[in-house]
Amino acid sequence: MFRNILIILLTFCFSTFLYPHIASSEKQDDLGAIENLTVMKAYFDIKVDKITKLEKQLGWIHDIHKQMAEKGITTTFVIGFRSHTSYFVTKGDEYVYEEDLPAKEKIENRLKDFVKLGIRLEQCGLSAELFEIDTKKFLPELTVVKNGYISMIGYQNKGFAYVPM
Report the C-alpha gap between 99 and 81 in whole angstroms: 22
Does residue 3 lie within any of the structural domains?
A: no
Is the whole-model pTM more than 0.85? no
**Would residue 132 count as lying in a domain?**
yes
In a domain, 158, yes or no: yes
Would you place residue 6 in the very low, low, confident or very high pLDDT band (cuts 50, 70, 90)?
very low
CATH number at residue 99: 3.40.1260.10
Q: Give the mean pLDDT of 99-128.
A: 97
Q: Put the strands of the sheet holding 39-46 in their side by side order.
A: 143-145, 120-124, 74-81, 39-46, 161-164
Tally of domains in the chain: 1
* AA identity, residue 112: K
Residues 6+ apart with CB under 8 A from 135: 123, 125, 128, 144
For residue 73, being part of any structural domain is answered with yes
The chain-wide mean pLDDT, for the chain, equals: 88
CB neighbours of residue 147 within 10 Å: 13
DSSP label of 90: B
pLDDT value at residue 33: 85
Question: CB–CB of 85/47 below 8 Å?
Answer: yes
Per-residue model confidence (pLDDT) at position 1? 56
Please check whether residue 119 lies inside any domain of the structure.
yes
Q: What pLDDT sits at residue 10? A: 46
Whether residue 39 lies inside any domain: the answer is yes
* Parent domain of 156: 30-164
Let me know if residue 20 belongs to a domain: no
> Residue 152 domain-assigned?
yes
